[in-house]
Structure 1
Amino acid sequence: MSRFKSFDGVSIYYQRWGRLSAQPPVVLHHGYVANARINWVIPGFVRRLTLAGRCVIALDARGHGRSEKPHDPAAYGEARMAKDLSCLLNELGLEEVDLVGYSMGATVALLAATQEPRIRRLVAGGIGGNTLHLDSHFHVEGRKALSRAMLASRWSIRNPTLAGFRLLADMVWADRKAMAAQALAFHSTRIPLEKISAPTLIIAGDKDPFAKQPRKLQKAIRGAQLKVVLGDHSSVLIRPGFQRAIVDFLQA
């Protein structure tokens, strides 16, 4: 259990499991509201990776888990989280890693892969074709509604998706002001996917409403593979097929 100061002074918490081997470490980045423990440890994914002989590193994104939690939206956004990843690699002196991101973390991973040459293999899970249109009016208004939901009375929220995120925030004791700030700062410009050179796997649950049309995202990344498995946005994380597909891809 360790911390480092990122490029702008925000303190980032991370953990390591397993031993260094001939293969590069696997870095894991979780989704919105969650943390490394919720997304990766409890579902058994960290254990599966270490049993496969991999060293695993997972961080809590700024505003999440045990990392520092500013309340200013200017401190957030996936582009800043991608810089946090590079700072983590610098902190640990790593020359090559495999990167796995889920949901918000998948957007972070894609952004990191457009500018970070130390990423050997890339996995983006829980996102789909909508990633190509982050600047749409629908997404802008959705971010504002999510931010409001984080600060409102839970019983006043009528939209089931917003209510679900708010319930998760309450369940994991998230800092809701930090979550509201990140909601306003969600990435809203085009990701230059053509700059990604690392072999990439796009993986999504067949019933995941946040990962519709994943083939569109796959086609936008040169040479990317696509795997669709059983599950929705939450349940897919514990599915053996989901975990096995990622481990097999990273072992190649």
Structure 2
Amino acid sequence: MASSPTDRPEPQYFDSFDGKRIAWYEMGEGKPLVLIHGYFSDAFTNWIRYGHAAVIAARGFRVIMPDLRAHGSSAKPHDAASYPPDVLMRDAFALVEHLALSNYDLAGYSLGGRTVMRMLANGATPRRAVLSGMGYQGIIDTHGRGRYFRNVLTNLGSFERGTTEWMTEAFLKTTKGDPQALLRILDTFVDTPPATIAGIATPTLVLTGVEDHDNGSGAELAMALPNGSFREIPGNHMNAVMKPELGTEIANFLAA
């Protein structure tokens, strides 16, 4: 049992659509929010450690935070069959079904934001959605960013200290990531066409660090959404998750 809102709580588990065990954490009571972390990360690192989940929960939300497949306390299989296209989206839908959620919100950071987009593109109808740490290019051309991570995961230990690749590898070490399982995740990415984005009616906030250009333009993504809005917070792609503004902006948008 966590003794403070930033301690690591005990996970809960369910079996996803294919029987793989997926972990999730909860904080708070009220309107359900499914909050999805980024690549190489986990629910604790992305949402609990820096207080974002507590800030959102304090605004009257039941914050539900899964560990993505191949991340955190969830299953990390190595076989290709466990990583079909859009598997993260399917896991998220399975969690929604498992918890019998009907009137809920969706939010995610980076890969979590892309997973939210894939849910919206495949019929999810949340009350509101937040795409944080994500831009237009990262939605319509997932393999561009995927090539960067594939290079990191297949060349571990070879990067010069201080480079972006070296820092990405250092983050992998802090979260005790499984390189083989994470490499499989890259095979699951599915692009979302512009026409599909243009058909998503859910009120959606696009939220990025002012120095975050890793996945293209957040402003462009917000403009492509019929009911999109755009906000910037301090930081780049790696450190915006440490800024209190991330949780505050998500909470403000969802509670409005």
TM-score (norm 1): 0.88
Answering whether residue 241 of structure 2 is matched by residue 237 of structure 1, we say yes
Matches within 5 A, 1:80-229: 80-134=87-141, 139=144, 143-144=146-147, 146-154=149-157, 156-158=158-160, 160-188=163-191, 190=193, 192-229=196-233
Distance verdict in 2 for CA 1:222–1:73, change over 3 Å: farther
Q: How far has the Cα of 1:237 moved from its partner?
A: 1.8
Q: How far has the Cα of 1:168 moved from its partner?
A: 1.1
Which residue is equivalent to 1:64? 71
Q: What is the root-mean-square deviation in Å for CA atoms of aligned residues?
A: 2.1
Q: How far has the Cα of 1:214 moved from its partner?
A: 1.4
Q: Structure 1: which amino acid aligns with 2:169?
A: R
- CA deviations 1:97-116 (Å, max 9, x no partner) are 11111000100001111223
Q: Structure 1: which amino acid aligns with 2:28?
A: G
Which residue is equivalent to 1:17? 27
What is the CA–CA distance in structure 2 between the aligned matches of 1:77 and 1:64, rounded to whole Å? Answer: 16
Quick check: 171-180 or 190-199, which moved more? 190-199
User: In proportion to residue count, which structure has more helix?
Assistant: 1
What is the CA–CA distance in structure 2 between the aligned matches of 1:54 and 1:126, rounded to whole Å? Answer: 21
Distance verdict in 2 for CA 1:107–1:78, change over 3 Å: farther
Alignment check: 8 A CA contact 1:78 1:108 kept: no
Distance verdict in 2 for CA 1:29–1:135, change over 3 Å: closer
Quick check: 62-71 or 165-174, which moved more? 165-174
Which residue is equivalent to 2:255? 251
Q: How far has the Cα of 1:58 moved from its partner?
A: 0.2
Q: How far has the Cα of 1:250 moved from its partner?
A: 0.1
Alignment check: 8 A CA contact 1:148 1:180 kept: no
Alignment check: 8 A CA contact 1:147 1:179 kept: no
Percent of residue pairs identical: 27
What is the CA–CA distance in structure 1 between the aligned matches of 2:83 and 2:211, rounded to whole Å? Answer: 29
Distance verdict in 2 for CA 1:131–1:117, change over 3 Å: same
Which residue is equivalent to 2:6? none
- CA deviations 1:80-127 (Å, max 9, x no partner) are 111111111111111121111100010000111122344111000001
What is the CA–CA distance in structure 2 between the aligned matches of 1:120 and 1:205, rounded to whole Å? Answer: 24
What is the CA–CA distance in structure 2 between the aligned matches of 1:216 and 1:72, rounded to whole Å? Answer: 37
Distance verdict in 2 for CA 1:242–1:146, change over 3 Å: closer
Which residue is equivalent to 1:6? 16
What is the CA–CA distance in structure 1 between the aligned matches of 2:80 and 2:37, rounded to whole Å? Answer: 19
Q: Structure 2: which amino acid aligns with 1:50?
A: A
Distance verdict in 2 for CA 1:74–1:42, change over 3 Å: same
SS at match of 2:241: helix
- CA deviations 1:1-30 (Å, max 9, x no partner) are 3111111222110011112x3xx2111100
What is the CA–CA distance in structure 1 between the aligned matches of 2:25 and 2:37, rounded to whole Å? Answer: 13
Distance verdict in 2 for CA 1:143–1:77, change over 3 Å: farther
Alignment check: 8 A CA contact 1:98 1:120 kept: yes
